[in-house]
Amino acid sequence: MPVDPEFVPLVARSRELPELDFENTPVDVLLAQLRSTAPAVNAPRESPVSTEDREVAGPYRNIPLRIYTPPGTGPFPILVNFHGGGWVMGTLAMDDVRNLRMAEQAGCIIVSVDYCLAPEHRFPEPLEECYAVLEWAATRGAGINGDPSRLAVAGGSAGGNLATAAALLARDRKGPRLAFQLLFYPACSPDLTTLSYKENGSGYGLTTAAMGWFWKQYLPDGEQAGAYAAPLLASDLGGLPPALVFVAEYDPLRDEGIAYAERLRKAGVPTELQLCEGMLHGFLSSTPTARRSQEVIDAASKALQLALKYRRLPEGS
């Protein structure tokens, strides 16, 4: 279907902007240019959800968090969220609208992580910070009125990549048991040759050139992408938590999100895939109050509420 009418201005704006020279421009200059052209984040609406900013100890530094707590008595299920931004930018504020609405509708605490950014902090440092917060939620979640036995991860774009990788780490390290993974247009592979890159790699906001540059900033020079950097490359996806994967029609990352959902299904992981027709990459952060964005947030909230409604049983029960 055509681009959703509420997103047509974003498409027009992206096509009016001059192309960035990712090959010859210094990294600091490119970062400043990218941040200046990013769509403004909508101010959060009034909400009964309370928020608290705090820090927890991590492997490299104290990690900033924003905790969203719904009204009620609790203890509440816990969702650990990782923002997008190509691993090089992004802030806690970019997911505020989505997190406020989801915390209220799903009745869960959301712990949003302000992980360290590339290129100053390359793989695996951002992932290790995300995993450290996941462990903190599993062991200290009761201290924020949470129920660590009902624990999930979520993220969009680069944050979706970190959510999938954190779930893999939790499985492989025999760490926190997760009930659910909620992925919005996740970055799952550095392969820039898929059909969706060919169809949507320019003129729809996120470009092929930008995504290639993001991957180069995240992965250390000369390092081959493995499963924890690019989850689609994992040889085994069995034993991961059930997943809901949203992909956008006009998104270079569309096909890798679809491929990841299909790989999860083949591995026996209960997985639902939703194609958001007429939508662009990052639509939940760039335009979270648009009608279609709100519909996706509501659908995600319902799925999250169902997945976290019951406590997970211990192994062997």
pLDDT tens digit string along 117-135? Answer: 999 999 999 999 999 999 9
pLDDT at 316: 40
What pTM did the predictor assign? 0.95
Average pLDDT of the residues in 60-83:
97
pLDDT at 19: 82
Instruction: Report how far residue 141's alpha carbon sits from residue 145's, in angstroms, rounded to the nearest whole number.
Output: 7
Average pLDDT of the residues in 27-50:
78
Direct distance between the N- and C-terminal alpha carbons of the chain, in angstroms, rounded to an integer: 47
Instruction: Report how far residue 293's alpha carbon sits from residue 295's, in angstroms, rounded to the nearest whole number.
Output: 5
Average confidence score pLDDT of the chain: 93
Kindly state the DSSP code that residue 45 receives in the 8-state scheme.
Answer: P
CA 213, chain centre distance (Å):
19
Helices (H), 151-290: 158-172, 195-200, 208-218, 254-266, 283-286
Q: What are phi and psi of 111, to 5 degrees?
A: -105, 105
Helices (H), the chain: 8-16, 27-37, 96-106, 125-140, 158-172, 195-200, 208-218, 254-266, 283-286, 291-307
Q: If residue 237 lies in a helix (H) or strand (E), which one and from where to where?
A: none
* Statement: residue 315 has pLDDT above 60: no
**How large a percentage of the chain has pLDDT more than 70?**
94
Least confident of 139-143, 280-284, 306-310: 306-310
pLDDT at 317: 35
* Statement: residue 209 has pLDDT above 70: yes
Distances (CA, A) of 18 to 35, 37, 108, 203, 211: 14, 10, 42, 11, 17
Give domain 5-307's CATH number out of 3.30.530.20, 3.30.365.10, 3.20.20.70, 3.40.50.1820. Answer: 3.40.50.1820
Catalytic positions are 157, 251, 281
* 187: Cβ contacts below 8 Å, ≥ 6 apart: 157, 158, 160, 161, 211, 214, 253, 256
∠ Cα 157 160 162 (to 5°): 115
* Statement: residue 312 has pLDDT above 60: no
Write down the domain spans for the chain: 5-307
* Statement: residue 18 has pLDDT above 70: yes
